[in-house]
A and B are shown apart, each in its own frame.
Chain A
Amino acid sequence: MDQVATLGVTRPRARSPRASFWAKFTAQPATVIALVFLAVLILAAIAAPLIASLVGHGPNDLYRTQMLDGFGLPRGPNGSFWFGADSAGRDVFIRVIYGARVSLVVGVVATGIAVVIGVTLGLIAGYRGGIVDTLLSRFADVMLAMPLLLFAIGISTACSTTSAGCLRGTLTPGLNLVIVIIAVFTWPAMFRIVRATTLSLRETDFVEASRAIGQTEFSIMRSEVLPNLISPIVVYSALLVPQSILFEAYLTFLGLGIPDSTPSWGGMLDQASQLFSVAWWLMVFPGLFLLATVLAFNLIGDGLRDALDPKTPRRTTRKRAA
């Protein structure tokens, strides 16, 4: 359980000028394509209601007489339903566009929360060391050992039995809950990176020097340690985003994530899992979008790593869904 990744960052690095970073970052054509794809996807997600009104189909509008057969099975792509219909008779194309909203929001927000928790605790553990470090590290280990599914099922069920949800209405099933679950299980990964890096930074001369001239711990952390962590944090966060997106799709696929009335790629694939033999479009389109989005974030993460810090490990210590 001690698979802490120790990083090669042992001394402060002169920061690259912005222009040089950008040149390195966009050196690979794949990174540029990924950026363009994501830009288009984000625009489409924002403009989803506009697209829906242009097409004339809302995400929860039912076209059961047009798009369901006598067996209640969906019909495939045609001129006005480009991606066909789902088993409730809704437009898959519109739902795929709306689904981008869930994936993007979950990817960014859940990762953001996990990074804030992971970085804060990682800094404290790495810098203070001793019993604080031990306690926090062990806590992170326990989190990684928790039965994730059970936790997800438990929370989402317990929060679904009243209209108020959990914690006086702050935690209702759906997006909020999925974000919380993902953040809770993701922060230990960031924590380990930050802790290990901080540990090695703590021993360096310039931190010793700052301590010698009487700077407070907080200001040392802020002015000396944190800036040197920026690169690994950025690179690592970029790699966590696609993982969080997959995590959401995985939870929703198992029926534990986003409710059906909110279009999400994982939810659409869950439906497809029952119907793929008769309705390939239910499986192919949401899956392709999910793959493309995750790939784009991964390419950008790789690009960032090449531009910022080639030594950052490519592997996370988080549980993978398989």
Chain B
Amino acid sequence: MRSRRSLLTIAGLGGLLLGGALIMSACGGSGASGSAGPAKKGGTYRVAETDFGFSDNFDPTGEYTAESWAMYRGLLVRTLLGYRLTAGVAGNTLVPDLATRVPTSPDGGKTWTFSLKTGVRFAPPVNRAITSHDIVTAFERIDTPAIAAQYGFYYAPIAGWDAYAQGKSSTISGITTPDDQTISFHLTTATPDFPYRLTLPATGPIPHEVAKCFPGAGTYGRDLVSSGPYMVAGSQSVKITSCAAITPMSGFDPASKLILVRNPNYAPSTDDPTIRRALPDNFSFTIDTNQTDIFNRINAGLLDDSPNTPPASIVASMATSATTKQRIRVVPNDRTRYLSMNLTTAPFDDIHVRKAVNLIMDKAGLQQAQGGPLFGAIATHIVPDTMFNNDSSITSYNPYATPNSAGNLAAAQAEMRLSKYDTAGDGKCDAAACKNVFAIAGNTNQGFNMVPVIENSLAKIGITLNFRELPPGSAYATINTASRNVPFTSITGWTKDYPDPSTFMVLFQSATIIPVGNVNYSLVGLTPAIASQIGVPYPKGATIPSIDAQFGICAQTLAPSTRQACWIGLDKNLMENIVPWVPYLSDNAVHVISGAVTAWDFDQASGGASYARVAVNPAKQSH
């Protein structure tokens, strides 16, 4: 559920007339914008956003948003393994970063050993070589409940993980460091995708001498010590002689700005300069709460980029001219938007109703509400095709195909007739349970635009919804609380944490169902025991389907092609036999950049601009 906040600010745009020319090719590449000239070193790359939206005040241990990951990966935090920081499938491919190579596991995925490159140093004020112990520090922080790491569950297979968390052991026994340049992870279960988990920024090296001074959640971010090509401005002025002497770095004010400058200790020789080009001298990230204002300033050359999605009105006017059109960048973003149906609440506790909803839904209308085709292709199943490397067995898979994706009344009614809720046999949901069904929507413009589309579609099969449009934060808090048992939700979307389909499928595991912060909104895999634990009535006489067994098999599969086929099978099983969602959009990331940008790329793995691969021409910038 990364980038929740940026999910919410998506605005509309249409794109058939713009054609595929804007969509960056799947093999990535850097899109220079021509008129601004060749990409050169220097200048300040100026980014503004409506809200930093940090989930842990910029402490990498707890930071879980697309934008902060893009900033860390490109600029501040190097990890054992990384990505090419480019668009498309290439950007989802593992490459070594701090490690010398991507290892293979000698025992089917239980042991992973890495050698660190030499000559990599922390930025000021630490100024020393990075060792394997600094990686251990990062893991110990993830495993410390008080620091509240956000995705610590990915590392639970490490031996001794729980013992450390519970204070029973002073070290994590499954992580060993034979010397300063070597680190080994010993897992309790085979985890073939473990290398991907070592690309997540929480696992980047953290100097213990600074981090020990920040024992609580959300505090280390003010003094983040960089291992990448840039650092927070004012880093060199921080005194680390004692914890009491440490002051916040002057370049970061969580309420207004984050300024980055070059890290003098960064050695390009330890990195791949074809990946991290590191061309601008400085980066400035500032807050402007008005989205439209940001894009007006980008168009005026006062800013260069924004992680927020541009409003449709702005992109529409830019698309009319050839010179402005080339400043719009569109990349498929490994994200699925979906409508969620709750398997325990009427009328969605009947699979025929759920299938009928899939058949009647005007997905083209929902796409238009989100801004039209440029903002994403219509989704036909759960995991985006790119996560399966565009495998042909899934790209054309559409179990609920309808003409123009606008819904098929005859097919939906035929499906509805099979339902117990169609008492009259007229293809309409006519039981009392079909009326006034509670539903949650977001109160953003897109959220508002979607509601009548959904209401009109469902009315055709006799279902009337009682929609409540809530501010996104409240909407998520409502549906996240399992005991509220919300039957239908339209605000939901999901994106990968790393390029493995498991990061989507985890949503349907019964283990994912928790009382607060639940994201298995459909309650797939609910058992009577879990139901009573989270305060949800288990439907009488029904059996809620489970994917736990199939998930376990896929997750343990090592061979990439078998593994991928397994996940594709699970996706199809979910779509045809469980039907928890109406997937409707495979998101595109849409960026509008200024005329001063001379190089731009998308970080596919993070889902944001590839800051390591951008460049500006200061002469073209306005002030």
Is chain B in direct contact with chain A in the complex (CB below 8 A)? yes
Chain A residues at the B interface, C-beta cutoff of 8 Å: 60-62, 64, 68-73, 87-90, 157, 160-163, 173, 255, 259-261, 271, 274-275, 277-279
Tell me if B171 counts as interface (CB < 8 A to partner A).
no
Compute how far the CA of A261 lies from the CA of B447 in the bound complex, rounded to whole angstroms. Answer: 12
A70, A90, A161, A259: the one contacting B469 at CB < 8 Å is A259
Contact yes or no, A62 B17, CB < 8 A: no
Tell me if B316 counts as interface (CB < 8 A to partner A).
yes
Compute how far the CA of A271 lies from the CA of B311 in the bound complex, rounded to whole angstroms. Answer: 13
Chain B residue nearest in CB terms to A70? B14
Compute how far the CA of A201 lies from the CA of B224 in the bound complex, rounded to whole angstroms. Answer: 71
- Per-position contact with A for B193-211: 1 when CB-CB < 8 Å, else 0? 0000000000000000000
Compute how far the CA of A24 lies from the CA of B211 in the bound complex, rounded to whole angstroms. Answer: 80
Contact yes or no, A71 B12, CB < 8 A: yes
A71, A88, A279: the one contacting B453 at CB < 8 Å is A88
Compute how far the CA of A163 lies from the CA of B467 in the bound complex, rounded to whole angstroms. Answer: 9
B455 contact set on A, CB distance < 8 A:
60, 261
Among B15, B313, B365, max chain A CB count under 10 A is at B313
Chain A residue nearest in CB terms to B485? A162
- Chain A nearest CB from B475 CB (Å) reads 9
- Chain A nearest CB from B584 CB (Å) reads 14
Q: With A160-B470, A260-B469, A277-B313 known to touch, is A72 a contact of B368 (CB < 8 Å)?
A: yes
Tell me if B443 counts as interface (CB < 8 A to partner A).
yes
Contact yes or no, A71 B449, CB < 8 A: no
- Per-position contact with A for B285-297: 1 when CB-CB < 8 Å, else 0? 0000000100000
B478 contact set on A, CB distance < 8 A:
160-161
A71, A157, A278: the one contacting B371 at CB < 8 Å is A71
Instruction: Report the interface size class on chain B.
Output: 35 or more
A72 contact set on B, CB distance < 8 A:
12-14, 312, 368-372, 449
B443 contact set on A, CB distance < 8 A:
255
Compute how far the CA of A255 lies from the CA of B468 in the bound complex, rounded to whole angstroms. Answer: 12
Contact yes or no, B14 A69, CB < 8 A: yes
Contact yes or no, B452 A60, CB < 8 A: yes
Contact yes or no, B317 A278, CB < 8 A: yes
- Chain B nearest CB from A163 CB (Å) reads 4
Contact yes or no, B15 A70, CB < 8 A: yes
Contact yes or no, B372 A71, CB < 8 A: yes
Chain B residues at the A interface, C-beta cutoff of 8 Å: 11-17, 292, 311-313, 315-317, 319, 365, 368-374, 436, 438, 443, 445, 448-449, 451-453, 455-456, 466-471, 474, 478, 484
A62 contact set on B, CB distance < 8 A:
365, 452-453, 456
Chain A residue nearest in CB terms to B296? A277
Compute how far the CA of A68 lies from the CA of B313 in the bound complex, rounded to whole angstroms. Answer: 12
Contact yes or no, A70 B17, CB < 8 A: yes
A70 contact set on B, CB distance < 8 A:
14-17, 372-373
Contact yes or no, A260 B12, CB < 8 A: no
- Chain A nearest CB from B311 CB (Å) reads 6
Contact yes or no, B317 A64, CB < 8 A: no
Chain B residue nearest in CB terms to A274? B445
Contact yes or no, A157 B471, CB < 8 A: yes
List 12 A–B pairs whose Cβ atoms lie within 8 Å, in order of A's numbering.
A60-B452, A60-B456, A64-B365, A64-B453, A71-B313, A71-B371, A88-B449, A157-B474, A160-B478, A261-B455, A274-B313, A278-B317
Contact yes or no, B468 A160, CB < 8 A: yes
- Chain A nearest CB from B368 CB (Å) reads 5
Compute how far the CA of A23 lies from the CA of B319 in the bound complex, rounded to whole angstroms. Answer: 62
Contact yes or no, B484 A161, CB < 8 A: yes
Contact yes or no, B449 A87, CB < 8 A: yes
Contact yes or no, B311 A68, CB < 8 A: no
Compute how far the CA of A275 lies from the CA of B313 in the bound complex, rounded to whole angstroms. Answer: 7
Compute how far the CA of A277 lies from the CA of B452 in the bound complex, rounded to whole angstroms. Answer: 24
- Chain B nearest CB from A142 CB (Å) reads 27
Chain B residue nearest in CB terms to A162? B484
- Chain A nearest CB from B372 CB (Å) reads 5
Q: With A64-B365, A163-B436, A274-B311 known to touch, is A87 a contact of B445 (CB < 8 Å)?
A: yes
B317 contact set on A, CB distance < 8 A:
278
A260 contact set on B, CB distance < 8 A:
448, 451-452, 469
A87 contact set on B, CB distance < 8 A:
12, 445, 448-449
B311 contact set on A, CB distance < 8 A:
274
B448 contact set on A, CB distance < 8 A:
87-88, 260, 271
Compute how far the CA of A89 lies from the CA of B369 in the bound complex, rounded to whole angstroms. Answer: 9
A162 contact set on B, CB distance < 8 A:
438, 484
Since A87-B445, A157-B470 are in contact, a sample of 8 more A-B pairs with Cβ atoms closer than 8 Å, ordered by chain A residue number, is A68-B368, A70-B15, A71-B313, A71-B372, A72-B12, A161-B468, A161-B478, A255-B443
Q: With A62-B365, A70-B17, A72-B13 known to touch, is A163 a contact of B438 (CB < 8 Å)?
A: yes
Among A163, A271, A279, max chain B CB count under 10 A is at A163
Compute how far the CA of A61 lies from the CA of B317 in the bound complex, rounded to whole angstroms. Answer: 27
Contact yes or no, A90 B474, CB < 8 A: no
Compute how far the CA of A225 lies from the CA of B181 in the bound complex, rounded to whole angstroms. Answer: 92
A68 contact set on B, CB distance < 8 A:
368
- Chain A nearest CB from B218 CB (Å) reads 25
Enumerate the 4 nearest inter-chain pairs by beta-carbon distance, A residue then B residue, closest first: A70-B14, A163-B438, A72-B12, A71-B14
Compute how far the CA of A157 lies from the CA of B470 in the bound complex, rounded to whole angstroms. Answer: 7
A173 contact set on B, CB distance < 8 A:
468
- Chain B nearest CB from A299 CB (Å) reads 34
Chain B residue nearest in CB terms to A275? B313
Contact yes or no, B445 A271, CB < 8 A: yes
- Chain A nearest CB from B345 CB (Å) reads 10
Q: With A62-B456, A260-B451 known to touch, is A71 a contact of B316 (CB < 8 Å)?
A: yes
A160 contact set on B, CB distance < 8 A:
468, 470, 474, 478
A71, A90, A271: the one contacting B315 at CB < 8 Å is A71
A255 contact set on B, CB distance < 8 A:
443, 471
Compute how far the CA of A60 lies from the CA of B457 in the bound complex, rounded to whole angstroms. Answer: 12
Chain A residue nearest in CB terms to B365? A64
Compute how far the CA of A279 lies from the CA of B317 in the bound complex, rounded to whole angstroms. Answer: 12
Chain B residue nearest in CB terms to A277? B313
- Chain B nearest CB from A52 CB (Å) reads 15
Compute how far the CA of A316 lies from the CA of B374 in the bound complex, rounded to whole angstroms. Answer: 51
Compute how far the CA of A60 lies from the CA of B365 in the bound complex, rounded to whole angstroms. Answer: 14
Contact yes or no, B436 A259, CB < 8 A: no
Chain B residue nearest in CB terms to A260? B448
- Chain B nearest CB from A35 CB (Å) reads 36
Contact yes or no, A163 B474, CB < 8 A: no
Contact yes or no, B451 A261, CB < 8 A: yes
Compute how far the CA of A62 lies from the CA of B452 in the bound complex, rounded to whole angstroms. Answer: 8
Chain B residue nearest in CB terms to A276? B313
A278 contact set on B, CB distance < 8 A:
313, 316-317
Contact yes or no, B468 A73, CB < 8 A: no
B13 contact set on A, CB distance < 8 A:
71-72
B474 contact set on A, CB distance < 8 A:
157, 160-161
Compute how far the CA of A271 lies from the CA of B484 in the bound complex, rounded to whole angstroms. Answer: 30
Q: With A88-B453, A260-B451 known to touch, is A73 a contact of B312 (CB < 8 Å)?
A: yes
- Chain A nearest CB from B410 CB (Å) reads 20
- Chain B nearest CB from A154 CB (Å) reads 11
Compute how far the CA of A70 lies from the CA of B320 in the bound complex, rounded to whole angstroms. Answer: 12
B15 contact set on A, CB distance < 8 A:
70
- Chain B nearest CB from A20 CB (Å) reads 51
- Chain B nearest CB from A59 CB (Å) reads 10
B316 contact set on A, CB distance < 8 A:
69, 71, 73, 278
